[in-house]
Amino acid sequence: MSCSKKDADKARTPLLEVEGKFLYLDQVQQIIPPNVSVKDSAEIAKSYIKNWVTDVLLYENAKRNISNKDEIEHLIEDYRRSLTIYQYQQKLIDQRLPKTPSEEEMHAFYEKYNKQLILKENVIKGFLLVVPKSAKKIENVRSWVRSGNTEALENIEKYSIQNAISYDYFAENWISVTDILKKLPMQIEDPAAFVSQNRFYETNDSTKHYFLRILSYKISGQVEPYEMAKQKIANLILNKLKADFISNFEDEIYKDAVDNETINYMKK
């Protein structure tokens, strides 16, 4: 392949030229990850150069051999028009609409439509403490977990730092029951019944004690808690605002064109 540099960017270092297109050193350097070996860098660069050359050759060969150029230009123009309109609409939306709905709007939406926000899985709030079977003060731990009050939680927090194998605290966030039950050393056949019948659950295996405290639960098929539905509600409200804004904006553009006699109807 020729390496005619007369049309190359003089401020950059060309590596090769194909069909009048130049590949520059800085383009290749940009795709090399930091902290890779010389060998790996060379392989990455080689692959990138091959793909770049192949892409240029395919495109140039395609341009020379296709017959429906007018159709392609039409498709390109349609895409350009759609992309331009979309970018313009997004700019207006960013300027004129809030980034997120207010809490009042989301609560109102939840109160009105919560019957349509149905849980597809069982969820709980609580915590799971796992300690070695040889851990000290097991009776205290059992009492703290059963209680679950503020003082007990503080004791568990302090105890877990030095003694726990793991401590999953999800008292403030709903979490899938399945994710928690996976951490217990037995198979629960009916998770819904398990969480509805147990506030405190203790079990063990050959090496560990497991203490589960369930503070709240919701069963699959019930209304989704507001905290879980909040992001979904925000997206629904914003999507409705955007759709309404675009529709109203398009109506205003057309009305202005009619009022200002921008539209010139051709006489027959």
**Is 149 contained in some domain?**
yes
pLDDT at 2: 45
Residues 121 and 193 in one domain: yes
In terms of domains, do 190 and 151 share one? yes
- Number of domains the chain is built from: 3
pLDDT, position 68:
86
* Domain, as residue range, for 190: 117-218
What is the rounded CA–CA span in Å between residue 151 and residue 157? 10
Q: The pTM is what?
A: 0.69
> Using one digit for the tens of pLDDT, what is the confidence trace for 206-217?
999 999 999 999
Structure confidence by residue, pLDDT tens digits, 39-56: 999 999 999 999 999 999
Q: What is the pLDDT of residues 123-141, one digit of tens each?
A: 999 999 999 999 999 999 9
Query: Does 29 share its domain with 83?
Result: no
Does position 19 have pLDDT exceeding 70, yes or no? yes
State which of 40, 62, 84 marks the end of a domain: 62
The full 3-state SS of the chain, as one line of letters, equals: CCCCCCCCCCCCCEEEEECCEEEEHHHHHHCCCCCCCHHHHHHHHHHHHHHHHHHHHHHHHHHHHCCCHHHHHHHHHHHHHHHHHHHHHHHHHHHHCCCCCCHHHHHHHHHHHHHHCECCCCEEEEEEEEEECCCCCHHHHHHHHHHCCHHHHHHHHHHHHHHCCEEEEEEEEEEEHHHHHCCCCCCCCCHHHHHHHCCEEEEECCCEEEEEEEEEEECCCCECCHHHHHHHHHHHHHHHHHHHHHHHHHHHHHHHHHHCCCCCCCCC
Residue 242 resides in a domain: no
pLDDT for 262: 87
Q: Does residue 35 surpass a pLDDT of 70?
A: yes
* Whether residue 191 sits in one domain with residue 103: no
Q: How confident is the model at residue 6 (pLDDT cuts 50, 70, 90)?
A: low
- Do 194 and 153 belong to one domain? yes
Same domain as 122, residue 111: no
- Residue type for position 239: N
Is residue 122 located within the same domain as residue 210?
yes
Within-domain flag for 157: yes
Are 26 and 107 in the same domain?
Answer: no
Phi/psi of residue 201, each to 5°? -140, 130
> Is the confidence at residue 229, as pLDDT, over 80?
yes
In a domain, 263, yes or no: no
* Residues 134 and 206 grouped into a single domain: yes
Cβ neighbours of residue 196 closer than 8 Å, sequence gap 6 or more: 217, 219
